[in-house]
């Protein structure tokens, strides 16, 4: 996608300005995703061939824009959300299940992601603080081990349990 087509695609996205209030808390926008993701070491932002945003660490994706596809809408039926959707890796399926059980208003999945350590997020329902935690965990799950260790040491984030290598 080039030039005006790409700009038209970006213009058709929901506003990326300041967060709105939902349920009494600031909620995330694409600007917040960009700001948080880009602040993580060696992260690049790319636009896919379909014009969708992706964030990668050393070439490995950790979060991406993921609108629902026809099969997703069919599978979810009336529960299919509207609005911006972010997909993000999680450390393992146990974390995914905990997120799904913890806040079904924010997190969801589709059959496409069954057995896959990734979660779908209603961007307009997640707080900026929770988004930051999710993106850092996604980044840590995909970053090279040495880079993740350096980040944790420098940032003061608690060191997670050892994660299985993929």
Provide the residue range defining the domain that includes 19.
3-155
Residue 33 lies in a domain: yes
Higher model confidence: residue 161 or residue 61? 61
Q: What is the mean pLDDT of residues 8-19?
A: 38
Task: Give me the half-sphere count of Cα atoms (radius 13 Å) on the Cβ side of residue 147.
Answer: 14
Structure confidence at residue 25 as a pLDDT band (50, 70, 90): low
> What is the percentage of the chain residues whose pLDDT exceeds 90?
76
Total domain count, the chain:
1
Residue 165 lies in a domain: no
Residue 22 lies in a domain: yes
Higher model confidence: residue 3 or residue 57? 57
Residue 164 lies in a domain: no
pLDDT given for residue 9 in this prediction: 37
Residue 161 lies in a domain: no
Structure confidence at residue 21 as a pLDDT band (50, 70, 90): very low
Residue 144: closest CA among 63, 58, 61, 62: 58
Residue-by-residue DSSP string for 61-96: EEEEE-PPPHHHHHHHGGG---S-EEEEE-SSHHHH
Helix, strand or coil for residue 43? strand
Q: Is the pLDDT of residue 17 over 80?
A: no
Residue 137 lies in a domain: yes
Q: What is the mean pLDDT of residues 113-141?
A: 96
Residue 162 lies in a domain: no
Tokens of 79: 């529960």
Residue 162: closest CA among 60, 119, 149: 149
Residues 6+ apart with CB under 8 A from 132: 36
Residue 42 lies in a domain: yes
Task: Report the CATH number at residue 113.
Answer: 3.90.1150.30
Dist. CA 144–CA 57, nearest whole Å: 8
Apex 135 CA angle, 12 and 137, nearest 5: 155
């Amino acid at each position: 996608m080039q030039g005006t087509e790409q700009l038209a695609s970006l213009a058709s996205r929901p506003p990326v300005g300041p967060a709105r209030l939902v349920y009494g808390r600031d909620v995330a926008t694409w600007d917040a995703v960009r700001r948080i993701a880009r602040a993580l070491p060696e992260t690049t932002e790319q636009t896919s061939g379909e014009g969708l945003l992706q964030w990668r660490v050393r070439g490995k994706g950790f979060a991406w824009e993921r609108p629902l596809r026809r099969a997703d809408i069919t599978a979810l039926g009336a529960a299919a959300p509207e609005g911006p959707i972010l997909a993000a890796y999680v450390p393992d399926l146990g974390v995914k299940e905990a997120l799904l059980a913890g806040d079904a208003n924010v997190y969801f999945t589709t059959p496409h992601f069954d057995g896959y350590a990734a979660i779908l997020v209603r961007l307009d329902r997640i707080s900026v603080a929770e988004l930051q935690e999710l993106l850092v965990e996604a980044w840590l799950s995909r970053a090279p081990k040495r880079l993740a260790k350096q980040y944790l040491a420098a940032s003061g984030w608690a060191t997670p349990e050892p994660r299985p290598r993929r």
